[in-house]
Amino acid sequence: MTLDIRTLELLRESLAHLDAGFAHLPTFDATPNDQEIRSMRGVLKEVAERLRDNYPYAHPFYAGQMLKPPHPVARLAYALAQHVNPNNHALDGGRASSAMEKECVAQLARMVGWTEHLGHLTGGGTIANLEALWVAERTRPGGVIVASAQAHYTHSRMCDVLGLAFEALPTDRHGRLSVSALEERLERGGVGTVVVTLGTTATGSVDPLRDVLRLHGKYSFRTHVDAAYGGYFGLADNLGSDARAAFDVMAEADSIAIDPHKHGLQPYGTGCVLFRDTAVGAYYKHDSPYTYFSSAELHLGEISLECSRPGAAAVALWATQRLLPLERGGKFARGLADCRGAALELFARLEKDSRVRTAFSPELDIVIWAPRAETASATSSRSRAIFEAAARSNLHLAVANLPRGLLESWWPDLTWDREHVTVLRSCLIKAEHRAWLPAIWAVLDPVLNTHTDR
C-alpha cells in the first residue's frame, strides 16, 4: 500500500481511552445515526475519488516540491485531538494541548541551543516570520529589513503588510547571502534587521550566519534566522563544514522561525517562532474583552499574533517528538541525514553525467540541475520536457526559475538569451529517498537519453 491504512487501528484504541476519561458525564452519544453514517460514506467516497487528483506525495517517486504526508503518529494524534478540538489561544480552550505546546516548543528551543526562550506554534512559516519582523520593528523602529534575493518571497510581502522597508541583497555563487554585499549595506546605515536563511526554499542554500554575526562587532542590527525549511538540519551528522558552522551558532540569533510542517513530519498548519529574549512578550500585550483568561498562568494567546489556533497541531508535534526526540544520533536525526545523503548521491550521479549541468553541491537536501543545451531558453524548454516526461514515467520532479546571476559562473559556456533559466529541482525530503535513489535514477536515465543530446 502506498498510503498507511494499518495504523488507523491505533486511533480506535487511543480514542476509546480518551473517551473513558469522560465516562463520569451523563450518557451522551456523539455518534451520528445510521442514516447519517450512510450519507457520510457516500460523501467520503467522493472525497477519496477527488483526492486521487494529486501527485503521490507519500511515494519516494515524488521527488519534487517540499511535500510529504506527516508521520503516522502525528496524523493519529491530530485526529485524536480533533475529537476534543482544543483551541490553544487560551488555557480555557485547551489546557492539555497548551501544556503540550509549551513542552514541544521548548524542545525546539533546546534543539537550537536555548534553555530559555519565548515562543509558540503558528499557522506556518510565513506567520512565524511575520511575528519575528513585527517584534524586530518594535525593538528597532524604522530600521530597514534586509534579506538575500533568495530569501523566501513572503519577507518582502510581510514587510509590506507591516509597513516596513525591505531590501534584497545579492547572493554569492552558492545562493547564500553575500556577506560583502551585506557589509556594504550596513556601512550605509539604516538597517534594523538582517534576515538570515538557513536553507533557502529554492536551492537549500545556507546563509553564512557565523560571518553575519561577526559583523555585530562593527555594526548594530538584529538577526532573524528563517529556518522554516532547514531548521532541523543542525541535528544531521553529515553537513558540509559551512552549513555546520551556520547551524552551530543559531543560538546567537535574536529570533528563529522553524516549520514543523516542512521537515518536522507534521500536517500543514504548524510553524513555530522562537525569541531569545523573553522580554519581547511585552509587545503582545492586549486587553480583549472576549478573552476568558481564567488563570494566572501564561496563556499562549498572550504571546501570539493569531487568536484561535489548533491545539491538535501541538498534540501532533508533541507526539512526534515523544516518539522521535530531537537529538543528534537519534532516529529523527538519521532521517534528515538520509535526506541529505540522497541529495548528495543524486548530485554525484548528475555531476559526472555529460548530458546535464550541475552547479553548487547541495548543502541540505535540495538538488538543482539542468539538461545541457546551448542557450538559457533551450535549457528551460528541455527542463520542462524532462519534468513532463519523467512524470509520465511516474517520477515527479519540480522546476525552478533561477536568475542568471546565480548560475552564470557555473555555466560559462551557456548563452544567456534571457535573464532567468528554468532548471530541475528535487527536494529529497523523505528519508526513504536514499534507499530509492537507484530506482529513481533507473527512471530518470532513459528520460535523459530522450531529452538531451548525447
Ligand X SMILES: *Cc1c(COP(=O)(O)O)cnc(C)c1O
- Nearer to ligand X (CB atom), residue 108 or residue 228: 228
Report if residue 380 touches ligand X, rule: CB under 6 A. no
198 Cβ contact partners less than 8 Å away, ≥ 6 residues apart = 206, 207, 209, 225, 226, 227, 230, 231, 233, 243, 246, 247, 250
Residue 257-276 contact track with ligand X, rule CB under 6 A, x = bound: --x--x--------x-----
Q: Which of residues 107-126 bind ligand X (CB under 6 A)?
A: 124-126
Choices 37-45, 112-120, 224-232, 333-341 (CB under 6 A): range interacting with ligand X: 224-232
Least Å from the CB of residue 408 to ligand X: 24
286 Cβ contact partners less than 8 Å away, ≥ 6 residues apart = 302
Least Å from the CB of residue 302 to ligand X: 23
- Nearer to ligand X (CB atom), residue 395 or residue 428: 428
- Nearer to ligand X (CB atom), residue 154 or residue 379: 154
Q: Could you say which of 228, 315, 326, 407 contacts ligand X (CB under 6 A)? A: 228
Amino acid present at 48: A
Q: Which secondary-structure segment (H or E) carries 426?
A: strand 420-427
Q: Which of residues 190-209 bind ligand X (CB under 6 A)?
A: 197, 201
Q: What are the beta bridge partners of residue 396? A: 62
Rounded Cα gap, residues 272 and 131, in angstroms: 10
Residue nearest to ligand X (CB): 125
Q: Which of residues 397-416 bind ligand X (CB under 6 A)?
A: none
Report if residue 347 touches ligand X, rule: CB under 6 A. no
- Applying CB under 6 A, the site for ligand X has a residue count of 14
Burial (Cβ within 10 Å: 0-12, 13-18, ≥19) of residue 450: exposed
Q: CA dihedral defined by 286, 276, 104, 199, rounded to 10 degrees? A: 110
The long-range contacts involving 387-394, CB below 8 angstroms and separated by at least 24 positions, are: 387/424, 389/447, 389/450, 389/451, 390/443, 390/444, 390/447, 393/443, 393/446, 393/447, 394/56, 394/61, 394/443
Q: How far, rounded to the nearest angstrom, does the alpha carbon of residue 70 sit from its chain's CA centroid?
A: 12
- Nearer to ligand X (CB atom), residue 131 or residue 444: 131
- Nearer to ligand X (CB atom), residue 148 or residue 380: 148
The owner of cell 551585506 is 182
Report if residue 254 touches ligand X, rule: CB under 6 A. no
Report if residue 178 touches ligand X, rule: CB under 6 A. no
Least Å from the CB of residue 315 to ligand X: 19
Least Å from the CB of residue 184 to ligand X: 24
Q: Could you say which of 229, 232, 318, 387 contacts ligand X (CB under 6 A)? A: 229
- Nearer to ligand X (CB atom), residue 104 or residue 448: 104
Q: CB–CB of 235/265 below 8 Å?
A: no
Q: How far, rounded to the nearest angstrom, does the alpha carbon of residue 450 sit from its chain's CA centroid?
A: 34
Least Å from the CB of residue 180 to ligand X: 22
Q: Which of residues 292-331 bind ligand X (CB under 6 A)?
A: none
Rounded Cα gap, residues 25 and 28, in angstroms: 8
- Nearer to ligand X (CB atom), residue 229 or residue 369: 229
- Nearer to ligand X (CB atom), residue 126 or residue 379: 126
Strands (E), 178-311: 191-197, 222-227, 255-258, 271-275
- Nearer to ligand X (CB atom), residue 126 or residue 321: 126
C-alpha cell at 9: 487501528
Report if residue 425 touches ligand X, rule: CB under 6 A. no
Amino acid present at 278: T
Q: Could you say which of 226, 338, 363, 365 contacts ligand X (CB under 6 A)? A: 226
Q: Which residues of 13-26 are buried (b: 16+ CB within 10 A; e: fewer)?
A: ebeeeeeeeeeeee
What is the three-class DSSP state of 403?
strand
Strands (E), 149-275: 166-169, 191-197, 222-227, 255-258, 271-275
Report if residue 364 touches ligand X, rule: CB under 6 A. no
Report if residue 234 touches ligand X, rule: CB under 6 A. no
Least Å from the CB of residue 446 to ligand X: 32
Report if residue 68 touches ligand X, rule: CB under 6 A. no
Residue 136-165 contact track with ligand X, rule CB under 6 A, x = bound: ----------------x-x-----------
Residues at the interface with ligand X (CB under 6 A): 124-126, 129, 152, 154, 197, 201, 226, 228-229, 259, 262, 271
